[in-house]
Amino acid sequence: MSADLDALRDALLRWYAKERRDLPWRRTADPYAILVSEVMLQQTQVARVVPRYLEWLARWPTAAALAAASRAEVLAAWVGLGYNRRALALHAAAAAVARDGWPEDLRTLPGVGPYTAAAVASFAFGAQVAAVDTNARRVAARLGHGPPDALVPPGRAADWNQAAMELGATVCTARTPRCGACPVAAWCVSAGRPAAPAASARRGASERFEDSNRWVRGRVVAALAKGEGLPADIAAERVERAVVGLVRDGLVRRVDGGFSLG
């Protein structure tokens, strides 16, 4: 088992060194820049994040710079990335770091959960911990060699975490894993087995994003960021429901009979 695990690790790390995508957050060990990337990447595609990440760091290159920005500025800069509460959590985390420095337990920062804490710890601070996102968890489950933390090679946590996430994102995908292209198929107990369809695929296309309250919330935030007021092309009751939630969540506030961000 140990020899197989060592061979698996070596194969995946060699594949990653050759095939990894050149993503900007992989070129830095700055914990603030890595935190920005991890928060942006939560439920947002890499292709959408890359230009926004670069723009964000050009505008706010340090935690102190972001902390000095207003909530409205931060929300306006976040438009299009979705889940706007992430922006406020990142803003609050930057304020905490600017005030107190980086804490030993990164989970004490606003909006930082176990995965994000492990990612920043391993990529920025060299901590030997498994950063287990959806992709890494799926890879470990399919490989069948134990839980994700048991796969991390000694002294190579950062490289392994990146490699496992890269494999899950590009080869060992949820719906159509490409086992023929997988560098660790020889050690995988699931190789060649058909994947179960994802839950979203089973639901079908009947649930349109445009019919969701989240879509309306995004439209409201985008409109206010441009100074346009509330969207007039959406049913008033849908806009009102979205605004009530946005005010409750601290993303929008009432001012002078109208609304503004933050």
pLDDT > 70: what percent of the chain?
94
For residue 200, the model assigns a pLDDT of 47
Write down the catalytic residue from 19, 38, 73, 228: 38
Q: Both tokens of residue 50? A: 């890359």
Question: Looking at the domain assignment, is residue 198 inside a domain?
Answer: no
Residues 115 and 172 in one domain: yes
Residues 101 and 135 in one domain: yes
> Is the predicted pLDDT of residue 110 greater than 60, yes or no?
yes
Residues 232 and 181 in one domain: no
Residues 6-24 as b/e (b if ≥16 CB within 10 A, e otherwise) read eebbebbbebbeeeeeeee
pLDDT in tens, 174-228: 999 999 999 999 999 999 885 654 544 444 445 787 888 878 888 888 888 888 7
pLDDT in tens, 73-82: 999 999 989 8
Closest CA to 245 of 122, 90, 87, 84: 84
> Is the predicted pLDDT of residue 231 greater than 50, yes or no?
yes
Mean pLDDT of 128-138: 96
Question: Looking at the domain assignment, is residue 21 inside a domain?
Answer: yes
Residues 227 and 183 in one domain: no
pTM of the predicted protein model: 0.82
pLDDT > 90: what percent of the chain?
69
Compute the 3-state secondary structure of the chain and give helix, strand, coil in percent, each to the nearest 5: 60, 5, 35
pLDDT in tens, 6-65: 999 999 999 999 999 999 999 999 999 999 999 999 989 999 999 999 999 999 999 999
pLDDT in tens, 7-20: 999 999 999 999 99
Question: Looking at the domain assignment, is residue 171 inside a domain?
Answer: yes
What residue numbers bound the domain in which 178 lies? 2-187
Q: How far apart are CA 262 and CA 252, in angstroms?
A: 5
- Work out the mean pLDDT of the chain and round it to a whole number: 90
For residue 203, the model assigns a pLDDT of 46
- The H or E element containing residue 254 is strand 252-255
Mean pLDDT of 155-169: 97
Q: How far apart are CA 1 and CA 4, in angstroms?
A: 5
For residue 108, the model assigns a pLDDT of 98
Q: Per this entry, what is the length of the chain? A: 262
Is residue 38 part of the annotated active site? The answer reads: yes
- What is the count of structural domains for the chain? 2
Residues 23 and 58 in one domain: yes
CATH number for the domain spanning 241: value is: 1.10.10
Residues 225 and 163 in one domain: no
